[in-house]
Amino acid sequence: MRNKTSSIISAALALLLLLQLFFTACNPARNVPKGQFLLDRVDLKIDQPAIDKEEISSIIKQKPNKRILLIGRFHLGAYNISTMGKKRKWKNWLGNTVGEPPVILDSALNERSEQQIKLYLQKKGYFHAAVKSNITYRKERRARVGFDIHCNKPYRIRNIDYEITDSAIDSLIRNAPGKLIEKGKIFDESILAAEQLRIQRYLQDKGYYRFQKEHIYFDVDSALGGYSLDIDLVVTDEGFHTKPFGDSVVFRPHRRFNIHNVFILPDYNIFKKDRVFPDTATLGWGLYMAYDKELRYKPGLFKRSIFFQQGDFYSRTAVEDTYKRLSSFRNFKAVTLDFTTYAEDSSRALLDAFIKITPAKKQSYSLSAEGTHSSGNFGVSGSWIYQNKNVFKGAEIFEVKLRGALEVQQLAVDIANENISDFVPIQTFNTVEIGPEFSLTYPSALVPFLSGRFGKSSLPRTTLMTAVNFQRRPDYERTIVNGSLAYSWRQGKRIQHTYNPLDLNYVFVTLQPQFESTLDRINDVLIRQSYRPLLIPSFLKYFFTYSDQEEK
């Protein structure tokens, strides 16, 4: 006991010594050169609450050393420790890896920060903003910097005009929903940039395959007085060079492209780009699948997964949805969608689509093993998993899991005193658990009369699962048989539905004679019932999942 107390005291003294050393080294200005000052803090004072302080802070050119809650400048303290005493390897590591050198006040950077803040505010519509920095010098060679920001009155949008020579594009842009630039709103350059992207995407969804945000620019007239301005949204024609690296640019109206043919290459290999597929299957709707010797996938898989077809206008959204749908299958290692011009003349503009799919290995195996420790009981477990990722040529996933475990368990009862709460320790593996699990996942909704109601974008799936688990313990043997049917589908970008119409569990137990006689003597109905055969049915379970994470 005396040795233990002595060890505790020694550890406490060592900790106190370490803390004393750390806080001594944490003198923030320890390594600040004479005549200079440590940047201790930066304060912002803004007279307009609508302005985001965090955005202003992010553009300030000089920031103080990082602080950690309740610890302070930990990284600066680590750097100071690395400079104390003789040089050592561990000190070099501490200073270079953990440490952070002191931030020395630079008044020139304050001036640059003033200019950056003013420029930021002008882009937000505060054209007459005033920014002034001030420095307060403190003891121990520290200094604080404050920025006084007066936004003054913002400029608002009075009128929005359009200068678009192409009448078809002019009509689409004027009537498009979701406009971001509105009369009476405060001018904001970031909103103009967002409007460029919105129009680009909208027109690309309407067939304008080559349209880019660079074809849009804004003329802003702020010389009207009365803190108002007018915006002209200008759309230029499509431009291209007459020859490679030439200076001559020719402008022509934007073309609206239709889909001509869609070619599916389900065995594409990036390292064999020039590979020729001798056979082609016609799937209808302008879909063609190239293959070699035999079809690896059923045509219906791609008909359900491709969101555009022959005759449709090119749509960026349809292309993205097709990519997401095909990428959601675990059967494909990589998916690429390319488009080439088939025809572009005075009467038509057509695109050919090439869907290049690199398949994953059809069959795979995996093994794993681990040690277990549960409630003082030691054991080992292992699993073997087999997957067939295209068992019926429809991107179905057939999976077999085989799990086994050995564990040291304690007997459930002490026969001598007949108390169910007592245990008899066992030093060897006396518990065996083993069982297979089979599952089959279809990339569609196998619902009679309703499968057509699930849209392509809902990513419907059907999963059939059955499992058997056998457990053998010193007191009893138990077999658990499970079977279930589940449907899952998406609604929009954030909602996931899961519906289990049927989930059955059957538990069968065989008791050892000694254990059964013990239960008889205990004569507890609840305990006895827990060791009887049971059928546990579950019907019509439904799960709703909402995620606010942005889809990537």
pLDDT at 416: 41
SS3 per-residue string spanning 75-115: HHHHHHHHCCCCCCHHHHHHHHHHCCCCCECCHHHHHHHHH
pLDDT at 422: 45
The answer for residues whose C-beta is within 8 angstroms of residue 141's C-beta and 6 or more apart is 29, 32, 36, 37, 38
* Other CB atoms within 10 Å distance of the CB of residue 83: 15
Q: In whole angstroms, what is the distance from residue 128 CA to residue 133 CA?
A: 17
Q: SS3 for 155?
A: coil
**Angle value at C-alpha 411, between 406 and 413, nearest 5 degrees:** 160
Q: SS3 for 503?
A: strand
DSSP state of 457: G
pLDDT at 418: 45
pLDDT at 420: 44
Q: What phi, psi does 106 have (nearest 5°)?
A: -130, 105
Q: Enter the pTM of the model.
A: 0.76
> Burial level of 195, CB count in 10 A (0-12/13-18/19+)?
buried
Instruction: Give one DSSP letter per residue of 2-41, joined into a string.
Output: HHHHHHHHHHHHHHHHHHHHHHHHT-TTTTPPTT--EEEE
For each of the chain's 552 residues, which pLDDT tens digit applies? 555 555 565 555 455 445 544 554 557 778 888 889 999 999 999 999 989 999 999 999 999 998 888 778 888 888 888 888 888 888 889 888 888 999 999 999 999 999 999 999 999 999 999 999 999 998 888 999 999 999 999 999 999 999 999 999 999 999 999 999 999 999 999 999 999 999 999 999 999 999 999 999 999 999 888 899 999 999 998 875 455 555 666 678 899 999 999 999 988 887 776 777 777 888 888 899 888 777 888 888 898 899 999 999 999 999 999 999 899 888 899 999 999 999 888 788 999 999 999 988 889 999 988 887 766 667 888 999 999 998 888 889 999 999 998 887 665 544 444 444 444 444 566 788 899 999 999 888 877 655 556 666 778 889 999 999 998 888 888 899 999 999 988 887 788 898 999 899 999 988 888 887 888 788 777 877 778 888 888 888 888 888 876 554
Cα distance between the two ends of the chain? 60
pLDDT at 410: 62
> Burial level of 347, CB count in 10 A (0-12/13-18/19+)?
exposed
pLDDT at 271: 73
The strands making up 228-235's β-sheet, listed across from edge to edge, are: 156-164, 228-235, 216-221
Residue 394 near residue 442, CB atoms below 8 Å: yes
Size of the chain, expressed as the number of residues it contains: 552
Q: In whole angstroms, what is the distance from residue 75 CA to residue 26 CA?
A: 9
pLDDT at 424: 47
Q: SS3 for 62?
A: coil
pLDDT at 371: 81
Q: In whole angstroms, what is the distance from residue 53 CA to residue 389 CA?
A: 52
pLDDT at 137: 92
**Angle value at C-alpha 105, between 101 and 107, nearest 5 degrees:** 150
